[in-house]
Structure 1
Amino acid sequence: MSNVRYRWASLGCGVIGHQLAEALQKLGGGLYAVGNRTHAKAVEFAAQYGIPKVYERMEAVFADEDVDIIYISTPHNTHIDYLIPALSAGKHVLCEKSITLNAEELGRAVACAREHGVVLAEAMTIYHMPIYRRLREIIAGGSLGPLRMIQMNFGSFKEYDMKNRFFSRSLAGGALLDIGVYALSFVRYFLSSQPTEVLSQVKFAPTGVDEQASILLKNKEEEMAAITLSLHAKQPKRGTIAFENGYVEMFEYPRGESARITWTVDGRTEEISEGSTADALVYEVRDMEAAVAGEHDDMQLGYTIDVMDLMTEIRQSWGMKYPEEE
């Protein structure tokens, strides 16, 4: 029996497209349709997953009355070109991170979604992994005390191939939009309010995109966060949330399934586990379908907006623009 209630179409059939198809199959359903810039790849993808409809042109999805939800996983500088017509056609949209290039684009998409009464959400795994909801419950219980500091690391080692999308200006490359969005989403999820003070440093790649960055944040409650990012120096994907009475550590936090609490007074540790890394897309699909059904409003669009505002402000302070912004 299928636990999938809506007909999904995927724009893009890269790594995330495959994970989406597998998640829908885990839930007893499957993708209804797929579109890709290279039609032959879409045909091959559809054959692999038994998808009944392949669009000759990606834009055909907007006129397809049988489609309920569109998942966009194309390069993020193309997202706005698909978001506006999808939302205008009355489609609900789950869009891969970063949801847009900047706050102005996201503002247009949010306004369009509200005008047409549809759900718009960023596919940010952090907002849907069960471990995060469990940690929220523990924090709300008060035993850890007030939040003081969050420290985030995310470093990948990408070969110095300036034609790679990670370093490409024409594909909106750079550390901030690709990996920084995870760190900032983690920070915003736990901070009591949006940071109002922002400081940063950047090292540019030869192409002009941000290869490495450090970011300091503080909000009105004087909760602070420090983030380090790199595309050419490996770091653990580690988040540390420090409270007055203890601290929480999470490794591989973009799709985390466990955390460790260390209590300050006696050094005692407690392991917390919830959910499964392998089911990250399953949780996103379930939450999106529940939101579309009106069962909750828990897709965290407010956090998505806050994070995009921060990333836009940070890039403006660097004087870094993508071709679409010039």
Structure 2
Amino acid sequence: MKRDKALDAAQAADAAFEEVRNQPFPDDIFTAPELRWAVVGCGVIAHQMAESFALAGRKLAGVWNRTESKAEAFAEKYGVEKVYPTFEELCADPAIQAIYITTPHNTHIRYLRGALAAGKHVLCEKSITLNTEELEEARALAKEHQVQLMDATTILHMPLYRELLQRARAGEFGRMNIAQVAFGSYKEYGDLKNRFWNRNLAGGAMLDIGVYALTIMRLFMESAPREVVSLGNLAETGVDEAGGIVCRNQEGQLGVISLTLHSKQPKRAVLSFDRCYIEIMDYPRADKAEIVWTEDGRREEVAAGVEGYALDYEAADLERAVAGDEEAQSLIGYASDVMKIMTETRRAWGVVYPEEEK
């Protein structure tokens, strides 16, 4: 079934689920010992994770939400074992081993502090924190309490990128020279209080969509950028509406990023190497890419993973990290590099959230 790429993100995710709902679940996704998971928050992405677990024949062990009635409805819908009346009670329960945080960006650090200090492994939705300082604090807490912290940005977990990275690191493509990455969504100005435009909810293009573009760029760079130049346009609410970012690392590799929340653009990444370029459309949860070889113009399609299992891959990577998989454990380093770029760029544009003014 060919999906309509004009669908919004939630609709596209629903369509991807439908494609795999009646298919046998792959036996190569969850390969580490299973953890008992709880979810914090009951928004769209929490529902997607519950559905993703269901595809694998698994259930969440717990849920907490600020509005208890929403948590109860969520638990009833997905067969969640326990609804916790407070976040503190969830963290104190020794039966819970891993927590998936799905609340707004500006609340993440609050829940990260509680969960990590309680000895829980954490998968946290993007943007994992508001800024570099918060992420450094969270990583220090994870290290202190000997637990795993993982960023849920899908690009870090999709099998397609693992396969392409293996081939790149083996030298098959030659040197990566430039990554050109675009992401554009159209959000109405009509409701400037919604989360996309709301400064009090850490709105703006950078934390909502920029994290995807910068993550795919960073994955294929040999090292983190040392130089970043940019221009950004702000909405009347004070959050970033659109921006252009150019990055360069010590190896001279370039990244060129374009973002907008008020104009539709294709979610398109082009990674240009000496021997080929790789084009990836709808890259946040991509399961296909096309390689165009420089020498003869030959086109090669690469397929790995399945879009409908995107959140299963995230949970599986956390379980792999807990089991000692060093590759999975290293993913947080990419998140830190991306967060540094986002923090410095956003501040250069004058986008500062209320939590950062305290």
**Are positions 1:317 and 2:348 aligned together?**
yes
Q: Structure 1: how far apart are the matches of 2:103 and 2:182?
A: 26
What code does the residue aligned with 2:205 have?
A
Q: Structure 1: how far apart are the matches of 2:351 and 2:216?
A: 24
What code does the residue aligned with 2:55 have?
K
1:71 is matched with: 100
Q: Structure 2: how far apart are the matches of 1:295 and 1:265?
A: 37
Q: Structure 2: how far apart are the matches of 1:184 and 1:144?
A: 21
What code does the residue aligned with 1:323 have?
P
| Unmatched tracts of structure 2, length 5 or more | 1-24
Which deviations, in whole Å up to 9, do the C-alpha atoms of 1:39-72 show, x marking residues without a partner?
Answer: 1111100000011101112332111111000000
What code does the residue aligned with 1:294 have?
G
Which deviations, in whole Å up to 9, do the C-alpha atoms of 1:11-43 show, x marking residues without a partner?
Answer: 011111111111222222200000111111111
2:233 is matched with: 203
- How far is 1:139 from its partner? 1.4
What code does the residue aligned with 2:62 have?
A
Q: Structure 1: how far apart are the matches of 2:319 and 2:166?
A: 23
2:291 is matched with: 261
Which deviations, in whole Å up to 9, do the C-alpha atoms of 1:195-220 show, x marking residues without a partner?
Answer: 01100101101100000010000001
Alignment of 1:141-290 (within 5 A): 141-160=170-189, 161-290=191-320
What code does the residue aligned with 2:328 have?
D
Q: Structure 2: how far apart are the matches of 1:134 and 1:111?
A: 30
Which deviations, in whole Å up to 9, do the C-alpha atoms of 1:79-127 show, x marking residues without a partner?
Answer: 0000011100101000000010000111111111100000011101111
| Secondary structure in 2 matching 1:117 | coil
| Secondary structure in 1 matching 2:58 | coil
Q: Structure 1: how far apart are the matches of 2:234 and 2:334?
A: 27
What code does the residue aligned with 1:192 have?
E
**Are positions 1:13 and 2:42 aligned together?**
yes
| Secondary structure in 2 matching 1:167 | coil
- How far is 1:7 from its partner? 0.7
| Secondary structure in 2 matching 1:155 | strand
- How far is 1:239 from its partner? 0.4
What is the aligned residue count? 326
| Secondary structure in 1 matching 2:143 | helix
**Are positions 1:302 and 2:333 aligned together?**
yes
| Unmatched tracts of structure 1, length 5 or more | none
Q: Structure 1: how far apart are the matches of 2:324 and 2:303?
A: 29
Q: Structure 2: how far apart are the matches of 1:315 and 1:240?
A: 24
Match of 1:114 among 123, 140, 143: 143
Q: Structure 2: how far apart are the matches of 1:297 and 1:141?
A: 16
Q: Structure 2: how far apart are the matches of 1:320 and 1:163?
A: 16
Alignment of 1:20-169 (within 5 A): 20-160=49-189, 161-169=191-199
| Secondary structure in 2 matching 1:286 | helix
| Secondary structure in 1 matching 2:199 | coil
- Label 1:241 to 1:297 Cα distance change in 2 as closer, same or farther (>3 A): closer
CA-based RMSD: 1.4
| Secondary structure in 2 matching 1:170 | helix
What code does the residue aligned with 2:51 have?
E
Per mean C-alpha deviation after superposition, the further-off stretch among 21-30 and 89-98 is: 21-30
TM-score normalised per structure 2: 0.89
Q: Structure 2: how far apart are the matches of 1:313 and 1:107?
A: 15
- How far is 1:297 from its partner? 4.3
Q: Structure 2: how far apart are the matches of 1:98 and 1:175?
A: 11
Q: Structure 1: how far apart are the matches of 2:321 and 2:171?
A: 29
What code does the residue aligned with 1:235 have?
Q
| Secondary structure in 2 matching 1:208 | coil
| Secondary structure in 1 matching 2:177 | strand
- How far is 1:286 from its partner? 1.2
User: Identity across aligned pairs (percent)?
Assistant: 53
Q: Structure 2: how far apart are the matches of 1:138 and 1:59?
A: 45
2:6 is matched with: none
Q: Structure 2: how far apart are the matches of 1:215 and 1:269?
A: 29
